Amino acid sequence: MPKQQVRVVETGTVNKLVIENLTDQEIFIRAGEIVTGGKQDRVISSNLILPPHSGLIRMSAFCVEPGRWAARDGQDGRSFAVASTAMPASGTRRVAAAAALTDAPQTPLAERPATPAAQRQVWEDGRRAQFELGRELHANLAAPSAPTSLASTLASDALEQATAKFIEILSAGVGCGGCRRLRVCPRRNAG
Protein backbone atom coordinates (compact mmCIF):
# COMPACT_ATOMS: atom_id res chain seq x y z
CA MET A 1 0.00 0.00 0.00
CA PRO A 2 1.65 3.24 -1.06
CA LYS A 3 2.28 5.74 1.73
CA GLN A 4 0.77 9.24 1.29
CA GLN A 5 -1.47 7.91 -1.48
CA VAL A 6 -4.14 6.41 0.74
CA ARG A 7 -5.82 7.55 3.90
CA VAL A 8 -6.91 4.95 6.46
CA VAL A 9 -9.32 6.08 9.16
CA GLU A 10 -10.33 4.54 12.50
CA THR A 11 -14.02 3.61 12.79
CA GLY A 12 -14.07 2.68 16.48
CA THR A 13 -14.91 -0.92 15.55
CA VAL A 14 -12.06 -3.42 15.79
CA ASN A 15 -12.67 -5.23 12.53
CA LYS A 16 -13.71 -2.27 10.38
CA LEU A 17 -11.68 0.56 8.88
CA VAL A 18 -12.33 3.02 6.09
CA ILE A 19 -9.82 3.74 3.37
CA GLU A 20 -9.58 6.37 0.66
CA ASN A 21 -7.48 6.53 -2.49
CA LEU A 22 -6.14 10.08 -2.83
CA THR A 23 -4.60 9.59 -6.30
CA ASP A 24 -5.60 9.52 -9.98
CA GLN A 25 -4.60 5.84 -10.26
CA GLU A 26 -6.11 2.58 -9.05
CA ILE A 27 -4.33 1.22 -5.98
CA PHE A 28 -4.08 -2.45 -5.04
CA ILE A 29 -4.41 -3.17 -1.31
CA ARG A 30 -3.06 -6.61 -0.40
CA ALA A 31 -4.42 -8.83 2.34
CA GLY A 32 -1.80 -8.95 5.08
CA GLU A 33 -0.68 -5.33 4.87
CA ILE A 34 -0.41 -3.74 8.30
CA VAL A 35 -1.51 -0.25 9.25
CA THR A 36 -0.32 1.28 12.52
CA GLY A 37 -1.99 3.83 14.72
CA GLY A 38 -5.66 4.33 15.40
CA LYS A 39 -6.75 2.68 18.61
CA GLN A 40 -4.72 -0.43 17.69
CA ASP A 41 -2.65 -1.72 14.78
CA ARG A 42 -4.60 -3.71 12.19
CA VAL A 43 -3.93 -6.10 9.31
CA ILE A 44 -6.00 -5.79 6.13
CA SER A 45 -8.04 -8.97 5.73
CA SER A 46 -8.72 -9.10 1.98
CA ASN A 47 -7.37 -7.87 -1.32
CA LEU A 48 -9.00 -4.72 -2.63
CA ILE A 49 -8.56 -2.48 -5.67
CA LEU A 50 -9.32 1.14 -4.82
CA PRO A 51 -10.58 3.25 -7.72
CA PRO A 52 -9.02 6.69 -8.27
CA HIS A 53 -10.27 9.33 -5.80
CA SER A 54 -12.43 6.62 -4.25
CA GLY A 55 -13.93 8.51 -1.38
CA LEU A 56 -14.17 6.57 1.88
CA ILE A 57 -14.64 2.82 1.40
CA ARG A 58 -15.33 0.36 4.20
CA MET A 59 -13.00 -2.60 4.56
CA SER A 60 -12.49 -5.41 7.02
CA ALA A 61 -9.40 -5.82 9.14
CA PHE A 62 -8.10 -7.76 12.10
CA CYS A 63 -6.36 -6.43 15.18
CA VAL A 64 -2.65 -7.32 15.38
CA GLU A 65 -2.04 -5.53 18.66
CA PRO A 66 -4.08 -7.14 21.44
CA GLY A 67 -4.49 -5.21 24.65
CA ARG A 68 -4.48 -1.65 23.30
CA TRP A 69 -7.66 0.31 22.54
CA ALA A 70 -6.49 3.90 22.79
CA ALA A 71 -4.27 6.21 20.82
CA ARG A 72 -0.57 5.96 21.56
CA ASP A 73 1.04 8.94 23.24
CA GLY A 74 1.46 11.73 20.71
CA GLN A 75 -0.94 10.23 18.15
CA ASP A 76 -4.49 11.34 17.43
CA GLY A 77 -6.00 7.83 17.31
CA ARG A 78 -8.21 8.60 14.31
CA SER A 79 -5.81 7.75 11.51
CA PHE A 80 -3.23 5.18 10.52
CA ALA A 81 0.16 5.04 8.92
CA VAL A 82 1.07 2.37 6.42
CA ALA A 83 3.60 0.04 8.04
CA SER A 84 6.75 -0.87 6.16
CA THR A 85 6.04 -4.52 6.95
CA ALA A 86 3.28 -7.03 6.34
CA MET A 87 1.96 -10.05 8.17
CA PRO A 88 4.21 -13.10 7.61
CA ALA A 89 2.98 -15.23 4.69
CA SER A 90 1.44 -18.08 6.70
CA GLY A 91 -0.52 -15.58 8.78
CA THR A 92 -1.64 -13.69 5.67
CA ARG A 93 -3.08 -16.86 4.17
CA ARG A 94 -5.07 -17.49 7.35
CA VAL A 95 -6.22 -13.85 7.50
CA ALA A 96 -7.61 -14.08 3.95
CA ALA A 97 -9.20 -17.47 4.64
CA ALA A 98 -10.77 -16.21 7.86
CA ALA A 99 -12.24 -13.21 6.05
CA ALA A 100 -13.79 -15.50 3.44
CA LEU A 101 -15.34 -17.84 6.03
CA THR A 102 -17.58 -15.38 7.84
CA ASP A 103 -21.28 -15.51 8.54
CA ALA A 104 -22.09 -13.00 5.76
CA PRO A 105 -21.35 -14.66 2.40
CA GLN A 106 -23.58 -12.15 0.54
CA THR A 107 -21.45 -9.23 1.77
CA PRO A 108 -18.51 -8.14 -0.42
CA LEU A 109 -15.35 -9.82 0.85
CA ALA A 110 -13.66 -6.54 1.80
CA GLU A 111 -16.57 -5.70 4.13
CA ARG A 112 -17.26 -9.08 5.74
CA PRO A 113 -17.36 -9.14 9.54
CA ALA A 114 -14.71 -11.10 11.38
CA THR A 115 -15.63 -13.96 13.64
CA PRO A 116 -14.20 -14.12 17.18
CA ALA A 117 -12.42 -17.38 16.28
CA ALA A 118 -10.78 -15.74 13.26
CA GLN A 119 -9.61 -12.80 15.40
CA ARG A 120 -8.14 -15.19 17.98
CA GLN A 121 -6.27 -17.01 15.18
CA VAL A 122 -4.78 -13.73 13.93
CA TRP A 123 -3.63 -12.84 17.47
CA GLU A 124 -2.10 -16.32 17.83
CA ASP A 125 -0.31 -15.96 14.47
CA GLY A 126 1.07 -12.59 15.60
CA ARG A 127 2.28 -13.97 18.95
CA ARG A 128 3.83 -16.98 17.21
CA ALA A 129 5.65 -14.74 14.72
CA GLN A 130 6.98 -12.53 17.55
CA PHE A 131 8.14 -15.57 19.53
CA GLU A 132 9.76 -17.41 16.61
CA LEU A 133 11.58 -14.34 15.31
CA GLY A 134 12.84 -13.53 18.80
CA ARG A 135 13.98 -17.12 19.30
CA GLU A 136 15.85 -17.18 15.98
CA LEU A 137 17.61 -13.90 16.74
CA HIS A 138 18.13 -14.63 20.45
CA ALA A 139 16.50 -11.31 21.28
CA ASN A 140 13.30 -9.83 22.61
CA LEU A 141 11.99 -7.97 19.57
CA ALA A 142 8.92 -6.50 21.27
CA ALA A 143 9.02 -2.72 21.56
CA PRO A 144 8.80 -1.62 25.22
CA SER A 145 6.21 1.02 24.27
CA ALA A 146 4.10 -1.51 22.29
CA PRO A 147 4.93 -5.04 23.48
CA THR A 148 2.02 -6.72 21.68
CA SER A 149 2.42 -4.83 18.38
CA LEU A 150 3.35 -7.19 15.57
CA ALA A 151 4.21 -4.18 13.38
CA SER A 152 6.72 -2.90 15.96
CA THR A 153 8.33 -6.33 16.17
CA LEU A 154 8.59 -6.63 12.38
CA ALA A 155 10.15 -3.14 12.20
CA SER A 156 12.66 -3.74 15.01
CA ASP A 157 16.30 -2.80 14.43
CA ALA A 158 17.47 -6.33 15.28
CA LEU A 159 15.21 -7.89 12.67
CA GLU A 160 16.11 -5.29 10.04
CA GLN A 161 19.83 -5.95 10.64
CA ALA A 162 19.33 -9.73 10.42
CA THR A 163 17.31 -9.34 7.23
CA ALA A 164 19.97 -7.11 5.67
CA LYS A 165 22.67 -9.68 6.52
CA PHE A 166 20.57 -12.49 5.03
CA ILE A 167 20.02 -10.52 1.82
CA GLU A 168 23.74 -9.74 1.65
CA ILE A 169 24.58 -13.46 1.91
CA LEU A 170 22.07 -14.38 -0.78
CA SER A 171 23.21 -11.55 -3.04
CA ALA A 172 26.89 -12.52 -2.81
CA GLY A 173 26.38 -15.58 -5.02
CA VAL A 174 28.32 -18.81 -5.45
CA GLY A 175 31.63 -19.12 -3.67
CA CYS A 176 30.84 -16.67 -0.90
CA GLY A 177 30.28 -19.34 1.72
CA GLY A 178 26.76 -18.05 2.26
CA CYS A 179 25.32 -20.88 0.21
CA ARG A 180 26.96 -23.44 2.50
CA ARG A 181 25.70 -21.63 5.60
CA LEU A 182 22.15 -21.58 4.22
CA ARG A 183 22.43 -25.08 2.71
CA VAL A 184 21.06 -23.76 -0.58
CA CYS A 185 22.56 -22.22 -3.66
CA PRO A 186 20.19 -20.06 -5.69
CA ARG A 187 22.44 -20.20 -8.78
CA ARG A 188 23.11 -23.93 -8.64
CA ASN A 189 19.40 -24.76 -8.28
CA ALA A 190 18.24 -22.34 -10.99
CA GLY A 191 17.42 -23.72 -14.44
Residue 173 lies in domain: 164-191
Are residue 133 and residue 174 in the same domain, yes or no?
no
Q: Are 34 and 80 a contacting pair, CB within 8 Å? A: no
User: How would you classify residue 84: left for phi > 0, otherwise alpha for psi between -120 and 50, otherwise beta?
Assistant: alpha
- CB neighbours of 63 closer than 8 A, spacing ≥ 6? 14, 15, 40, 41, 42, 119, 122, 123
132 and 151 in a common domain: yes
95 plus 40 within the same structural domain: yes
Based on the domain organization, do 185 and 115 belong to the same domain?
Answer: no
Kindly state whether residues 79 and 169 are assigned to the same domain. Answer: no
Q: Is there a single domain that holds both residue 30 and residue 76? A: yes
pLDDT of amino acid 92: 62
pLDDT band at residue 22 using 50, 70 and 90 as cut-offs: very high
With pLDDT > 70 as the criterion, what percentage of the chain qualifies? 74
Amino acid at 189: N
- Say if 1 falls within a structural domain: no
The pTM is what?
Answer: 0.75
- 25 and 119 in a single domain? The answer is yes
In a domain, 109, yes or no: yes
- Flag the least confident range among 44-48, 62-66, 116-120: 116-120
Same domain, 168 and 148: no
pLDDT surpassing 50 at residue 185 = yes
pLDDT tens digits for range 120-153: 888 898 899 899 999 998 988 888 888 889 999 9
